[in-house]
Structure 1
Amino acid sequence: MAAHLDGRIALVTGASRGIGRAIAERLGRDGAFVVVHYARDDAAAREVVATIAGAGGQAAAVRAELGTPGDIGTLFAGLERALRDAGREVALDILVNNAGIGLPATIEQVDEAGFDRVFAVNVKAPFFLTQRALPLLRDGGRIINVSSGVTRVAFPEGIAYASTKGALDAFGHSLAKHVGPRGITVNAVAPGVIDTDVNAGWLRDNPGAQATVAEWSALGRVGQPADVADAVAFLASDDARWVTAGRIDATGGARI
């Protein structure tokens, strides 16, 4: 297990599966105590915590459904309990805003309820979660937002979702200037299509879809959660101390 994040505390939202799980496990292997946030699946969250522990790391799970009333208060009450139970200081060094939902719809198909929901989870939640985290975030900390490659290419079939990720990018850019005097960096990682459980139905068991997605990439393959997690791990490390207000395109060069 790498140890360059020893003594640091990380909160990863949406960490019970997919990209969030890969990020949590990678930061755990690098030595961080990882707070695994999740919305509903207790068993999946416990599995992530157990996997981190099995690799020699430390973690705890905290449940809170983002985009609902009281979500931020619930999350941070759980985080504080988890850290105290583990004998840790109630503090943070790394915040990864990964949790998000999609909305596969064109502008003609989007209704107000769907629009409000995707913005509540993808924009409002990370905004106020970060606001709540800032007093706990130690100087020299890291904030990493998981954006999307669809802010670089047109995505009319998911226009509201793409708009949320554009808003998240703008949020991070301004936040980097605001927290820079404290030595805190703020960056984004933008994945493309990744082989996760969310995409399993149309991608993982569909050779034709896999071939199409691979063709989009300059590297000729479908992205894996670890591809994104490793980019996040770099931004969380001391090696990225002079990188802020940046964005790592983790699409494998899709549609360049």
Structure 2
Amino acid sequence: MREIIFDTETTGFDPQNGDRMVEIGCIEMIDRIETGESFHCYYNPERAMPKAAENVHGLSDVFLSDKKLFAHGAEELLAFLGDAKLVAHNAQFDFNFLNAELQLSGYQPISRFRMIDTLAIAKSKHPGAKLSLDALCSRYGIDRSHRVKHGALLDAELLTQLYIELTGGRQIGLGLAEDSKRNDPIVSLRPTSQRAERRAFMTPRDHHADSAELARHKIFIEGIKDPLWTEI
């Protein structure tokens, strides 16, 4: 199963009031294992960056002034997203901005049936607890010491680790060989952040004893003095 864990940075809280998306970061996972593929892009919002928002993510008007418009990079983003499930923390917020940008650029919005919200998962697992990304990383022992300001790709990387923990940890990727009748059985356990590799298993050997081995075994058994199984 292919999933994209993503995060956005914006000029504010509501695209209906003119706020725009200025950054998106995406991490690809297959069967809960990072493949090493990612997508990251900054966008010129065509409006001034409020100081409060800049204090959160550090993206200034000067920095964003030479970045592409979302409309000029939408095809590339959509190609990366494909038809995968989309995972975000407080996903409603990120979906609102992503779909607003798509509609402004003349594209169809992404169906919310594809949305997976880690905030909702965390609420069900830890009712009443602090559920910010920082708080949940602390709860699950995820290192965020390098997170000075919010950043879409960095937060997506942290969220990827958190999503794995919220959905069963690394053990969820532990699997045995699939049905031996398949022509290409694979192992689902792969190192973190590496592309999934297909690995074929050897055909099982025939372990039936031949007549000579059975004869030697009989002689060995008959040579045992007072075997315990005769007392049963």
TM-score of the aligned structures, taking structure 2 as reference length: 0.30
Relative to its length, the structure with more helix (as a share) is 1
Q: Which has the larger radius of gyration?
A: 2
